[in-house]
Amino acid sequence: MGKVLRPWTAIKVQETENEFIVYVTGREYTFQKNKLFISSITSLGQELLNGGLLLKGVDTDEPIKLTDAQTFLFEQADDKVTFIASAQSTSFIFNVSTTIEYDGCTFFELTVVPRSLTVRQAFGFDKFVLPKYEL
């Protein structure tokens, strides 16, 4: 656990049924539990995001549609907090790590991996067609 320097204060996290709210000196960061990215950042009561962060691209000739999105609190300390989120589309699995430090510095790391064959496809019971995609 790192040290929180003055004038900042220790990070606090509040969890509800649908979201996490991170309290950092003068700011609030909100994560919906069913979204891949942070949904709101406020500073002294003013919203800083014009809208939630979006992932745009084409997957199998259609706009990417994320399913099964989940966000988890991974690590919490006085000086930083890290959330891990995951979602999938037809051809990809998306993982996002978001770390917020006590001074408000925020790091996002997006990992994209292709989905693998299903068991039925691997054994030749279902046909596998290489999908068309672009990010």
Q: In which band, very low, low, confident or very high, does the pLDDT at 135 lie, cut at 50, 70 and 90?
A: low
Q: CA of 51: how far to CAs of 48, 71, 75, 113, 116, in Å?
A: 9, 18, 26, 26, 32
Decide if 110 contacts 96 (C-beta within 8 A): yes
Q: Which amino acid is at 49?
A: L
Q: In which band, very low, low, confident or very high, does the pLDDT at 134 lie, cut at 50, 70 and 90?
A: low
Decide if 68 contacts 87 (C-beta within 8 A): yes
CA triplet 24, 25, 27: central angle to 5 degrees? 60
- Distance between CA 1 and CA 20 in Å, rounded? 21
Pairing of strands 40-43, 27-32: antiparallel
Decide if 116 contacts 128 (C-beta within 8 A): no
How does pLDDT run across 11-51, given as a tens digit for each residue? 999 999 999 999 999 999 999 999 999 999 999 889 999 88
DSSP string, 46-106: EE--SS------EETTEE---EEEEEEEEEE-SSEEEEEEEEE-SSEEEEEEEEEETTS-E
The model carries a pTM of: 0.84
